[in-house]
Structure formats: C-alpha cells, structure tokens
Amino acid sequence: MSASGSAALEVSGIEKRFGAVEVLRGVSMQVAPGEVLGVVGDNGAGKSTLMKVISGVHRADAGRIRLAGQDVAFRTPRDARDAGIETIYQDLALADHLDVGANIFLGREPIRRFAGLIPMLDERKIHGEVAALLGRIESHIPDPSARVLDLSGGQRQAVAIARALYWKAKIVIMDEPTAALAVMETENVLKMARQLAGEGIGVLFIGHNLVEILKICDRVMVMYRGRKVFDARCADTSQTELIRYMTGYADAEVNKTEGEYQ
C-alpha cells in the first residue's frame, strides 16, 4: 500500500502443527500502516491460529515475522503487546467492575509518588489522558469514570480500541469484533476499525460477514486449509469470488498461482 513498500507487519512461510495436524502450511502475508486487511476463511482454515502466532500466543514451527521491518520473535503475548501488536478479543477481555480509565491502563498504570515515597496510581493522568482519547475516537463515552459494566456493547468495544490506540499499537488484530453486536453498534465498530487505520495502524480484521469485510477493508485475504489461497484489493473482488476460494472450489487453480502473493 505505502509507496516505500515498508509493511507494518510482514510474515512469511509460517508453519504450525499441533501433533500430527498441520494447521498452518507456509503462510505469507503483509499489512501496510493504515491498511485494513480482512482475513476470511471457513472454520478450521487456520485464521485464528495465524492470529495467535502473530500475537505471541503460539510459536510458529517455521517462518518469520517482521514488524516495521524488524525481525521479531515473541515468547509470550506480553512480548507481542510490548512490541506493538494489540489484540481485541471477541469477548473484549475487560474488567467489568473497573472504570473505563482503569481498563485502558490496566497492567500499565502510570505511577506517582505519594509524599515523594510511596508509589500510587496517577489517577489524574489516567483520567486526563482517557478523556482526551475518548473524545478523539468519537467513542460516545462521555465519562472515563463510568464502569465498563454500565456501557453498551459498542462502547465496550470502544474501550478496547482506545486501549490499542493509546498504547501506540502498530498492528491491531480484531477477532470477529462484530459477532455479538447490534446493527447500530456494528456500524460504530466498523467505523472505529477505519479510525485505527486512519491513525496509521495496520488492522487485521477477522470476520465471517463478507458484506462487512468488503465494505470496510482495503484488502482481503482468504485462508483455506492452512494456506493463504487468495489475496486481493476489495475493490477488485466480489463476494462470489471470495466464497469460491473459502469453500476450496478454487483450490486447485490457486495452488498453481500461490507464489505470486508475497
């Protein structure tokens, strides 16, 4: 996407097996800064395993991951987060009883010294930063001290997204973020995926709804049985074509041309 061709994330030749089962069979892909890449495929195609490799949950058996041109190897999800890969899980992974600010900063709270000695949470900084952040992403959350419990599904999603944004993620993985949302809220989440991209983040958008994917993604890749079988600009493809690849109908011809998509 970007003129220089420097990808935000570039993976090549990723292989992963669980026992005898080859789940990923040499997957290569890349995302540019500011690009939303749709990742589609039937259940068991290897999408979520690939995402778990990228986010440090699993280690690949072979292949390399480059983040902004640098080779990286993650041993834990924490490593991946620290390197700038945020995952927004389907279940959002928020502490419901804590407020919005506490959730955005959870695990990385700013500290100040009480009486120059005792470390304590810097609440003023947390709430100040969060208020500014929430305003910037049009989250429709006017109050950083609202408990997550009291928020709607879309607002909860916004909290997770704000977290990624604040911590200057380079890559955000959104794992079926709209699966459990109402129509209006889905619209908001899709808008926020674009917003993240607008901030220069590379977004991996995993989903099943092809209408959604084609609408908000710049590019889409299809996985089938552990391989990437298709990769195209959304403007240049169609639902029909994607389904052909997702169902393996076009598998045979893809095997011939796979090498083109690096």
Partner 1 sequence: MDQRVAPKPEIETMPRGRAALRFVRQLAFALISIVVLIVIFGILNPRFLSAINWFHITQQVAVIAILAIGQTFIIATAGIDISQGSVVALSSMICAIILVDSHLGMVAAVALTLLLGAVVGAMVGGSIVVLGVPPFIATLGMLAIAMGAALLTTNGTPVFGLPNGFQAISQGTILGFPNMGWIAIVIALIAAFVLNKTRFGRYTLAIGSNAEAARRVGINVPRHLLMIYMLGGIISALAGIVYLSYTAAAQPTSGGNYELYAIAAVVIGGGSLFGGVGTILGSVLGALLMTILKNGTQLAGISSYVEQVILGIVVVGAVYVDNLRRRLR
Among 2, 59, 62, 120, binds partner 1 (CB under 8 A): 120
**Of the listed pieces 74-82, 210-218, 223-231, 237-245, which binds partner 1 according to CB under 8 A?**
74-82
**Position 222, amino acid:** V
Q: Does 93 bind partner 1 (CB under 8 A)?
A: yes
Q: Does 180 bind partner 1 (CB under 8 A)?
A: no
Which of 244, 226, 204 is closest to 44 using CA atoms? 226
Which of 52, 58, 50, 51 is closest to 75 using CA atoms? 58
Minimum distance of partner 1 from residue 84's CB (angstroms): 14
Q: Which residues pair with 13 in a beta bridge?
A: none
Q: Does 73 bind partner 1 (CB under 8 A)?
A: no
Among 142, 235, 252, 259, binds partner 1 (CB under 8 A): 142
Minimum distance of partner 1 from residue 216's CB (angstroms): 23
CA distance 131 to 141: 9
Q: Does 145 bind partner 1 (CB under 8 A)?
A: yes
Relative to beta strand 171-175, strand 202-206 is parallel
Q: Does 143 bind partner 1 (CB under 8 A)?
A: yes
**Looking at beta carbons only, is 163 or 219 nearer to partner 1?**
163
Angle (CA) 173 72 109, round 5°: 60
CA distance 85 to 124: 27
Minimum distance of partner 1 from residue 131's CB (angstroms): 8
Among 73, 111, 132, 180, binds partner 1 (CB under 8 A): 111
Q: Does 138 bind partner 1 (CB under 8 A)?
A: no
Among 2, 13, 18, 108, binds partner 1 (CB under 8 A): 108
Binding residues for partner 1, rule CB under 8 A, total: 36
CA distance 1 to 227: 22
Sorted by sequence, the CB contacts under 8 Å of residue 249 that are 6+ apart come out as 243
The 3 state secondary structure assigned to 108-164 is: CCCEEEECCCEEEECHHHHHHHHHHHHHHCCCCCCCCCCEHHHCCHHHHHHHHHHHH
Residue 105: phi, psi to the nearest 5? -100, 5
Minimum distance of partner 1 from residue 96's CB (angstroms): 5
Q: Does 68 bind partner 1 (CB under 8 A)?
A: no
What the block records as the tokens of 29 is 């892909």
**Of the listed pieces 46-54, 89-97, 168-176, 198-206, which binds partner 1 according to CB under 8 A?**
89-97
Residues that bind partner 1 (CB under 8 A): 77-78, 81, 89, 93-99, 102, 106-109, 111, 114, 119-121, 123, 127, 131, 140-147, 149-150, 152, 155
